[in-house]
Structure 1
Amino acid sequence: MSAYRVCVTYLLRTVDGRHEVLLGRKKRGLGTGYFVGLGGKLESGESSREAAVREIVEEGGVRVDPVDLDHRGGLLYLFPHRESWSQRSTVFVTTRWQGDPAESDELTPEWFAVEALPVDRMWHDARFWLPDVLRGGRVAAEFVFGEDLATVEERRALSPDLAAE
């Protein structure tokens, strides 16, 4: 099963002592209706960091300096019942950007308290790793989705070198 490459970035801020993350509600494509981080497919010859910078502008309307992206690990998503959805994702977080997040043709941005993520309105795997990553942790995990293409049936740790940028 071959997996295409994607990246995802979570913008973090602190407002009145409350830690928040920017998520976007997908308006089209894979995961329509779900809240997701900013990201997408890598283009030919593009690094995951370059793709993250491009996708943040395209989906969220803000600019990030590549050096401000904190690499937090990697995820392998396997969809045995729809192999074309299988993907390897590089995960970043950042606390620095220029501009104010704005709606795009792909996402409607919304800030959420890190302690109150809308996991029931996100891809099923997010509940297993995202809270820890947003609190400063790292992730190296594989998720196998079931026949419904929405529910994680298996999860296992990946070797940290497989989660490298």
Structure 2
Amino acid sequence: MCDTIIASMDEQQVLFSSATKRALARTKALIDQFGGRLAGSRACMETARALRADFQSLCVNAALEPFTTRPAAFTHFYRIDILLYLVGLALLFLGQPLAAGLVLLFMFTAAGLQFGWYREFYDRFYPQKTCYNVTAVLEPRGEVTRQLIFSGHHDSANELKFLKKHQ
């Protein structure tokens, strides 16, 4: 019995290793074909279409679900905060502590709303982009005993290059 379990585990590891290699190879092919894929970019949309085409050959249905977002708000909010901070400091040096306190309080409140409570406070200052989720359903061949949900990102992260230059 124990030998059977170990053999089964070895077979699963081989299957997992093979699937991992195929997934990494497909990821590399998508990167080579489309390059960087910032959310809302044409490359990101083309990657979503390529993934949908892949899924259409395997699944009953594969679809693109559009949604809108403002991706620059997440990585550029600090520009607004830096400006508000400098205004607050300038007001302090000009002998206006109440005005400085209000500006700095606004800065901390806005950052807290955006990143603590996930309210889209800064978003209104940045352009809206259309992004796409790719969905697909693989119907079972036999009796359904469990449901597997796979999730991932086909967009790439925006790099903050300031640290790379100054470290």
TM score, norm. by length of structure 1: 0.23
Query: Which is higher, the Rg of structure 1 or of structure 2?
Result: 2
TM score, norm. by length of structure 2: 0.23
Give the number of the structure whose residues are more often strand, by fraction.
1
Higher relative contact order (CA 8 A, sep 6+): 2
Give the number of the structure whose residues are more often helix, by fraction.
2
